[in-house]
Structure 1
Amino acid sequence: MSRMKAFFLEISFLLLTSSYAHDSIKYGYQGGNGADKWGSLSSDFSLCSQGKQQSPINISKNTTIYDPNLKQAPRDYVLTNATLINNGIHILLKYDQGAGNLVLDGKKYAMTQMVWHSPSEHTIDGQSFPVELQLIHESDDNHIAVVAILYQFGSHDAFLLQIQDKLEQLAKDKCTDNQEARIPVGVIQTRALERRSRKYFCYNGSLTTPPCTEGVTWIILGKVREMTKEQASSLAAPLSADYKNNARPVQPINGCTIQLYDELHNAKKTASNKSN
């Protein structure tokens, strides 16, 4: 990886996830620095209250638009070293280098990190889920694309099983106002995250944390996955009580178009065309 590419990845990481950026202005999810106050915490956060394409949103299936031009969004991740981080607000997994690519409309987006939110930030037909995992990707021209995976309670999540002991260790470390808690986790198998999705929702939105930057492409996978209640608890355990619930409330749609990719719909249409 070139020095310039590494530089941009690090800058993006700070922009997306650091709770101590912007002159150490720390945001929260309730109280005086809660989500409804973000826009007033700093002029840098103005989009959080004034933006017109903010995330997350509620996805109403009845109002989504099936787009036959949408393609499968393949993800080809690679094995690379990662670091588990408690920044005081979220639990993150940051890759030392890009961990492979997401391809959208022929453009490659490198996965640089992931972050868990509890409960889910996005909702489907008003339904919230216990956990949402967001896979953060960035293209060479600094465009951000996020793949969101929703989780309900059920069987073990194979990906989390790989870092269970590290999460327990992270819960024992203290995260102060001036320092993140970081634990190297080495190489993690990403196969569980690459599972092909036959359906996804796509829209243009924003970061769900300050500075709430807009122009972010969101892909919400239609398949809801599972993790155990114990695994969800282990993700929240390292965080203080004020941040165990770290989901931004859904934002106004403001005329946002939510596109639907549906492989089954495509197959039916192809079969119908062949029969005619």
Structure 2
Amino acid sequence: MAFHLAVYVTGLVLLLASPLTGQSQEIPFGYSGVKGPDKWGSLNPHYSTCSAGKQQSPVNIANDDVVSNSKLGSLDMDYNSANATLINNGFNIGMLFGNDIGELIADEEIYYLKQMHWHTPSEHTINGIRYPVELHLVHVADDGKVLMVAILYQYGNPDPLIEEIKSYLDQLAKEKCSADEEIHIPVESVKSNNIERDTSKYYRYIGSLTIPPCTEDVTWYILGKVVEISKGQIDAMKALMDSEYKNNARPIQPLNGRKIELYEDGH
């Protein structure tokens, strides 16, 4: 039995580990028209960073402009299999984890995996190429710092993670969700090894959340290996979304002088 929970967007901001949790009410946003990305900054005073910020995400990664940094080292992503909650929050599909899913170590600091969610198409681009899907793994350190790992997907074989949770996605499809509501479905023991990840090559930069309130000082790691997902899996996920959110990728933001670092194992 699905557990249906209606909440204002404040709850969605909480899900994304934003420092703006605790606001009494937030304004729904969209991806076109009067609530589209170019209007986010004026929808609510708490969203002003979306238009005024100088370190916004996503960005285009141009290989000719990245700076190689062999000192960064491989990301240590130590995840366990654990229970989760599958969520349709109106503007994307994601999974929320408890405290036992695992951690990532970067820059000698420990970040804990809190949730993951999908964007269709990808938000980040590489050399101007936009991929069909981008998965965000949201990590938070004890001091509140946010670290995002982005995994890009191209058409190909089915993604093992989505294959594993297919029955739960089918349950989710039976529920209706508007942009200011959430639907929660418990998921038993998500196998962490089904999260395809290769940290031998990645890009790193400082950016922001890609939804309002567009909070900055978020560390981004975009994995260099593009993994595969089937078109059927993408179509099934997009079918869960309202028409305004089937394409839920924020447009590319200017770098404003920021440097994107590249790490490649063995280089």
TM-score (norm: length of structure 1): 0.88
Gaps of 5+ in 1: 1-9, 266-276
Task: Kindly indicate whether residue 122 of structure 2 is the aligned counterpart of residue 120 of structure 1.
Answer: yes
Letter in 2 for 1:73: L
Give the CA deviation at 1:129. Answer: 0.2
Single out whichever of 146-155 and 191-200 deviates more from structure 2: 191-200
Q: Structure 1, residues 172-215: CA drift from partner, whole Å, max 9, x if none?
A: 10114553111111111011326432210000000000000000
Letter in 2 for 1:151: Y
**Which structure is higher in helix share?**
1
Q: Structure 1, residues 54-103: CA drift from partner, whole Å, max 9, x if none?
A: 00000000000001211111100012210111111010100132520111
What is the alpha-carbon distance in structure 2 between the residues aligned to residue 62 and residue 41 of structure 1? 36
What is the alpha-carbon distance in structure 1 between the residues aligned to residue 121 and residue 24 of structure 2? 26
2:254 corresponds to: 252
Single out whichever of 143-152 and 162-171 deviates more from structure 2: 162-171
Give the CA deviation at 1:237. Answer: 1.4
Q: Structure 1, residues 22-66: CA drift from partner, whole Å, max 9, x if none?
A: 624100000110011000001100000000000000000000000
Q: Percent identity?
A: 47
Contact 1:33 1:41 in 2 (8 A): yes
Gaps of 5+ in 2: 1-11
Contact 1:155 1:228 in 2 (8 A): yes
2:203 corresponds to: 201
Task: Kindly indicate whether residue 68 of structure 2 is the aligned counterpart of residue 101 of structure 1.
Answer: no
| RMSD between aligned residues | 2.1
What is the alpha-carbon distance in structure 1 between the residues aligned to residue 179 and residue 198 of structure 2? 40
What is the alpha-carbon distance in structure 1 between the residues aligned to residue 238 and residue 258 of structure 2? 32
What is the alpha-carbon distance in structure 1 between the residues aligned to residue 100 and residue 85 of structure 2? 13
Alignment of 1:37-116 (within 5 A): 37-116=39-118
Alignment of 1:92-241 (within 5 A): 92-176=94-178, 178-193=180-195, 195-241=197-243
- C-alpha change, 1:177 and 1:192, in structure 2 (3 Å) is closer
1:29 corresponds to: 31
Secondary structure in 1 matching 2:38: helix
Contact 1:112 1:138 in 2 (8 A): yes
Contact 1:80 1:97 in 2 (8 A): no
